[in-house]
């Protein structure tokens, strides 16, 4: 079953946080590092979130931080990895960033992970490190050159 992507709302935060704490890679050093209020601030402020739904439940989510021009989160429940939800969330988020006027965005992820390979495959360029993580950037031109300029989620 192909996941359905929709814009996240405050009522989705509990499920988003559950998924964040369940991932196998890029785990939080301490679960208290990210709290539901962190999601709430972004969703109500300069950010936007999306959820992927399949089999009647949320199976992944993404959150964009427009103020910082970065991907704050993109996670898929372990049992739904490899089914397309991550790429669909990614593409909805990137389309929104660039439709909103961003010229370049960035993210960081643990080096040597499947997430790092995912971002490289999606066209992200290495840009050094950020607090011990691998930093990546994507420009509007990179996005458009990849033929993905039509999504805006």
Is the pLDDT assigned to residue 151 strictly greater than 60? Answer: no
Provide the CA 17 distance to its chain's centre, in angstroms.
13
Q: Which listed CATH number (3.30.43.10, 3.40.630.30, 3.90.550.10, 3.90.180.10) goes with 4-145?
A: 3.40.630.30
Q: Which of 7, 15, 2 is nearest to 93 (CA)?
A: 7
pTM here?
Answer: 0.90
DSSP β-bridge partners for residue 105: 138
pLDDT in tens, 28-69: 665 666 788 899 999 998 899 999 999 999 999 999 999 999
For 19, phi then psi, to 5°, come to -65, -40
**Main-chain dihedrals φ then ψ at residue 116, nearest 5 degrees:** -60, -45
How many CA atoms within 13 Å lie on the side-chain side of 13? Answer: 15
Given a contact cutoff of 8 angstroms between Cβ atoms, the answer to whether 42 and 63 are in contact is: yes
Domain residue ranges in the chain: 4-145
């Amino acid at each position: 079953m192909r996941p359905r992507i929709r814009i996240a709302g405050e009522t989705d935060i509990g499920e988003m946080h559950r998924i964040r704490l369940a991932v196998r890679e890029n785990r939080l050093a301490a679960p208290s590092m990210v709290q539901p209020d962190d999601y709430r601030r972004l969703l109500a402020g300069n950010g936007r979130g999306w959820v992927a739904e399949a089999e009647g439940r949320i199976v992944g989510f993404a959150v964009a931080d427009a103020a910082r021009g970065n991907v704050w989160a993109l996670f898929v429940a372990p049992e739904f990895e490899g089914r397309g939800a991550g790429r669909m969330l990614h593409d909805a988020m990137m389309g929104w960033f660039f439709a909103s006027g961003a010229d370049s965005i960035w993210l960081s992820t643990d080096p040597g992970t499947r997430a790092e390979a995912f971002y490289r495959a999606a066209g992200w360029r290495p840009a050094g490190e950020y607090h011990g993580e691998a930093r990546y950037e994507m420009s509007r031109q990179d996005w458009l050159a990849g033929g993905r300029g039509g999504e805006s989620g």
